[in-house]
Amino acid sequence: MSSDFECREKLATTRKRLRIDYRVMATLLGLGPDGADMVKQWERGCGRISPTKQRAIENLPDTIPFKDDRKKGSFQFIDLFAGIGGIRIPFQKFGGKCVFTAEIDKHSKVTYAANFGEVPQRNGDITKFTASEIPDHDVLLAGFPCQAFSQAGRKQGFLDTRGTMFFEIQRILAAHHPKAFLLENVKQLKGHNGGDTLKTIMAILRGEASAEIPSDVMMSEEARASLGTHFDYDVDFEVLRARDFGVPQIRERIYIVGIRRDKGAPANHERIKEMFGRIIENYQLKVPFKDILVDDPERTRDFTISDNLWTGHKERKERNRANGKGFGYSLFDRTSEYCSTMSARYYKDGSEILIDQSDLGRNPRKLLPEEARALQGFPEEFVIDRVGRSQLYKQFGNSVAVPVIRAIASEMLREANIRTRKT
């Protein structure tokens, strides 16, 4: 272990070399953004650095792969409910500059900081910002919380506080009126409450209803006050499968795209439907499951599940089958075309993608972290070693398939006449 002086020196030089502020450094060290003052003190030679934090300093990253130091991009966008930045990556690649980020999960913020060199303000809680405090932007991006609508959750929709996060998006749209927006959620949103939840969302976004939401639905005063705002967006949605866009997992998600109409132009929601048609027609790419697998028997040995765990997986799946439930492990190998959808519960409750290893005389294994990254289409340079294994799988399970977002971004930016840079 380095000496105390060497440790403090490395802390200061690394922070300056990476061009990150004290809040980001504090997040990378597991202190959280509130630990910025502690980092300052350490750099000045004050305060004790524990052995654990000394090791963390020694293991700081060499680079931040997606850090954007430009003052302005070809267009400006905001990244709401950002997770680990899967929606952000393609839009930044097309020349956009992220001017605001919101994310409350502390572990996701560590991964976000390691890849983008930024951490959200005010603990990443979008409800703590008035709309006027959010910078002007051309594009709004939001993978808003899905638990309230998901098959695995309680499906309470707008009665769940996570479900009401849509209204935070609505109030920001009402205040800033960006040129375009992209919203992502689980496909179950389409059928939630007999389809009425999605109908309400679409009516609000299309400016076709005042959307009188019952008073027992929780939302901020600003959000409720903006419910009657008349929007002039052409809006439509589509359920897209990740396996059709270059990643070998099913992963069906609903994507809602809105593009602002020219002043005085009549509504034309069909153009969004046509845009989705072009996406489906022009961006089809099938990748076999074997392409994401690591062929390294020694590397995969540590991910092989124990006899007891394997027995538990099989028993749990049988119980679920007998009870009419679909949850349980799924087994895949190099002959598989694709796998089932990676869940945020991966590595936690047995609802997981397992890799057959019978040819090696072993029990099945779990995905390697880098395989999970590839399964969601994240670039190889995306940093995945700043959080524990279970948190990492949860992050990828909650994230988006990046190639799907890339295809949508390409077409929606063109449809909205937003200038991009070549990639």
Does pLDDT of 258 surpass 90? yes
For tokens 């390294």, what's the residue? 296
| Residues 255, 408 contacting (CB under 8 angstroms) | yes
- pLDDT bucket at 416, cuts 50 / 70 / 90: very high
- pLDDT bucket at 83, cuts 50 / 70 / 90: very high
Q: With respect to residue 107, please indicate whether it lies within any of the assigned structural domains.
A: yes
For tokens 């609903």, what's the residue? 254
And the tokens for 163?
């479900």
pLDDT at 67: 97
- pLDDT bucket at 316, cuts 50 / 70 / 90: confident
Q: With respect to residue 184, please indicate whether it lies within any of the assigned structural domains.
A: yes
Alpha-carbon distances of 333 from 232, 249, 338, 341, rounded to whole Å: 49, 13, 9, 15
Q: Are residues 366 and 380 in the same domain?
A: yes
Does pLDDT of 350 surpass 90? no
Tally of CB atoms within 10 A around 302: 9
- Please return the burial class of 415, using the count of CB atoms within 10 Å of its CB with bins 0-12, 13-18 and 19+: middle
| Residues 249, 338 contacting (CB under 8 angstroms) | yes
CATH number at residue 124: 3.40.50.150
| Cα 325 from Cα 388, distance rounded (Å) | 30
Q: What percent of the chain has pLDDT over 70?
A: 92
Residue 185 forms beta bridges with which residues? Answer: 254
Q: What angle do CA 169, 174, 176 make, to 5 degrees?
A: 90
User: What's the pLDDT tens digit per position in 89-110?
Assistant: 999 999 999 999 999 999 999 9
Q: Are residues 226 and 100 in the same domain?
A: yes
| Cα 322 from Cα 167, distance rounded (Å) | 40
Q: With respect to residue 308, please indicate whether it lies within any of the assigned structural domains.
A: yes
Alpha-carbon distances of 245 from 98, 144, 336, 411, rounded to whole Å: 25, 22, 17, 14
Question: Which whole number is the average pLDDT over 110-132?
Answer: 94
pLDDT at 347: 57
Q: Are residues 204 and 315 in the same domain?
A: no
- pLDDT bucket at 200, cuts 50 / 70 / 90: confident
Q: With respect to residue 420, please indicate whether it lies within any of the assigned structural domains.
A: no
Q: With respect to residue 240, please indicate whether it lies within any of the assigned structural domains.
A: yes
pLDDT at 204: 87
Q: Are residues 85 and 232 in the same domain?
A: yes
Q: Are residues 219 and 83 in the same domain?
A: yes
- pLDDT bucket at 150, cuts 50 / 70 / 90: very low
Domain ranges, residue 320: 289-398
Best CA proximity match to 56, nearest among 114, 137, 143: 114
Q: Are residues 87 and 121 in the same domain?
A: yes
Q: Are residues 298 and 235 in the same domain?
A: no
Q: With respect to residue 226, please indicate whether it lies within any of the assigned structural domains.
A: yes
Does pLDDT of 146 surpass 70? no
pLDDT at 162: 45
Q: Are residues 280 and 253 in the same domain?
A: yes
User: What's the pLDDT tens digit per position in 36-64?
Assistant: 999 999 999 999 999 999 999 999 999 99
316-336: b or e for each residue (b if 16 or more CB lie within 10 Å)? bbeeeeeeeeebbbeebeeeb
Best CA proximity match to 336, nearest among 370, 291, 286, 288: 288
- pLDDT bucket at 421, cuts 50 / 70 / 90: confident
Q: Are residues 308 and 267 in the same domain?
A: no
pLDDT greater at residue 279 or residue 166:
279
Q: Are residues 266 and 202 in the same domain?
A: yes
Q: With respect to residue 84, please indicate whether it lies within any of the assigned structural domains.
A: yes
DSSP type of residue 122: G
And the tokens for 330?
């799924």
pLDDT at 94: 98
Q: With respect to residue 209, please indicate whether it lies within any of the assigned structural domains.
A: yes
Q: Are residues 146 and 182 in the same domain?
A: yes
And the tokens for 14?
């690394």
Q: Are residues 236 and 370 in the same domain?
A: no
User: What's the pLDDT tens digit per position in 202-220?
Assistant: 988 998 865 566 777 777 7
pLDDT at 397: 92
Give kind and range of the element (H or E) at residue 253: strand 252-260
Does pLDDT of 373 surpass 80? yes
Does pLDDT of 357 surpass 90? yes
Mean pLDDT over each residue of the chain, to the nearest integer: 90
Question: Which whole number is the average pLDDT over 321-350?
Answer: 82
pLDDT at 423: 52
- pLDDT bucket at 249, cuts 50 / 70 / 90: very high
Q: What share of the chain is helix, strand, coil (3-state, %, to 5)?
A: 45, 15, 45
SS (H, E, C) 196-208: HHHHHHHHHHCCC
pLDDT at 344: 79
DSSP type of residue 252: E
pLDDT at 422: 65
CATH number at residue 321: 3.90.120.10
pLDDT at 226: 83
- pLDDT bucket at 148, cuts 50 / 70 / 90: very low
Question: Which whole number is the average pLDDT over 137-158?
Answer: 66
| Cα 284 from Cα 404, distance rounded (Å) | 10
Total count of domains within the chain: 3
| Catalytic residue IDs | 146
pLDDT at 60: 93
